[in-house]
Amino acid sequence: MKVFEVKIAKKRTTEGCGFVWPEWWKEVYESVNVMAYQDEGLAVEGAVCVCDDKTWELIAAKKDKAIALLTTAQANEKGRAWRPQVTSVTDEQKVLLIVAKAAQGTALTTDELKALDPEDDTPGVGKSRLFTIEDSLNAEA
């Protein structure tokens, strides 16, 4: 398995915004998993990708400056910057009941406090998974 970044250009049209991949991309795209996009509104942005060794040989042979081989750590750093963890409500009904109870001035139980803690696994408020190349590959499988 090889992990790499490919630089892609953004192209604005009357229909919206699209990506301009390197010319050779159509030869390999079916064998490449795009794991994360930069998406910061820049004219040229990155995409973290994964492919098998055979496909990498085809890509590396292009000697395109738009490609950079990455370590897993570098890919995870980029992926986490581009797809950060977010806090979200995982059990809306439970959170609403807890907030209503707190608004009435009633003391919250330990379980209710855990439900409001995004670092705790108790349903209520939680965080999305931290981006990792390994987890992304397992989700693709």
pLDDT tens-digit map of 29-79: 999 999 998 988 888 999 999 999 999 999 999 999 999 999 999 999 999
Return the closest-CA partner of residue 38 out of 3, 76, 99, 82.
Answer: 82
For residues 70 and 96, state if they share a domain.
no
For residue 121, give its domain range: 87-127
pLDDT at position 10: 82
Domain co-membership, 6 together with 75: yes
Residues 8 and 76 in one domain: yes
Q: How confident is the model at residue 130 (pLDDT cuts 50, 70, 90)?
A: confident
Give yes or no: residues 68 and 93 share one domain: no
11 and 55 in one domain? yes
110 located within any domain: yes
When pLDDT is cut at 50, 70 and 90, the band that residue 129 belongs to is confident
Distances (CA, A) of 54 to 43, 49, 119: 31, 14, 41
In order, the DSSP letters of 19-68 are EE--GGGGGTGGGEEEEEE--SS-SEEEEEEEE-HHHHHHHHTT--TTEE
Would you state the pLDDT for residue 39? 82
Residues 18 and 62 in one domain: yes
- For residues 6 and 34, give the distance between their C-alpha atoms in angstroms, rounded to a whole number: 10
The tens digit of pLDDT for each residue in 16-34 reads 667 889 999 999 999 999 9
Task: Determine, yes or no, domain membership for 133.
Answer: no
Give yes or no: residues 67 and 121 share one domain.
no
Identify whether 30 is part of a domain.
Answer: yes
Overall number of domains in the chain: 2
> 10 has which bridge partners?
19
Distance CA 117, CA 136 (A): 25
Predicted TM-score (pTM) of the model is 0.74
